[in-house]
């Protein structure tokens, strides 16, 4: 059985919003999205577009992107937290 695809998960505490990861993605899979009041972070809108190549993570010099096979679970938690904060 093939290993699950790894996809990027942004660690907001490390991200400075430089957008280098977005520029590095050959699939245009990432876009900036509001995270906190005046803060934006890269976000993977459609996981099906992502090939899991890891170029976005490699492009970040701050360790702001972790490649993980659990990105869907992380997204649900993130969206749940956002919803709970509204």
Using rule CB under 6 A, residue 71 touches ligand SF4: no
Taking only Cα atoms into account, the Rg of the chain, rounded to an integer number of angstroms, comes to: 13
6 burial via Cβ count (<10 Å: 0-12, 13-18, 19+): middle
Q: What is the footprint of ligand SF4 within residues 10-49 (CB under 6 A)?
A: 10, 15-21, 24-25, 27, 29-30, 42, 44
68 makes contact with ligand SF4 (CB under 6 A): no
Q: How far apart are the first and last CA of the chain?
A: 41
Which residues sit at the interface with ligand SF4, rule CB under 6 A?
A: 8, 10, 15-21, 24-25, 27, 29-30, 42, 44, 50-56, 59-60, 62, 64-65
């Amino acid at each position: 059985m093939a290993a699950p695809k790894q996809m990027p998960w942004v660690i907001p505490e490390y991200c400075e919003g430089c957008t280098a990861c977005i520029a590095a993605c050959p699939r245009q899979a990432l876009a900036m999205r509001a995270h906190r009041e005046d803060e934006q972070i890269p976000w993977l809108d459609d996981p099906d577009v992502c090939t899991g190549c890891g170029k976005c993570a490699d492009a970040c010099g701050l360790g702001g992107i972790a490649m993980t096979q659990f990105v869907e679970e992380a997204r649900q938690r993130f969206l749940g937290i956002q919803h709970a904060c509204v």
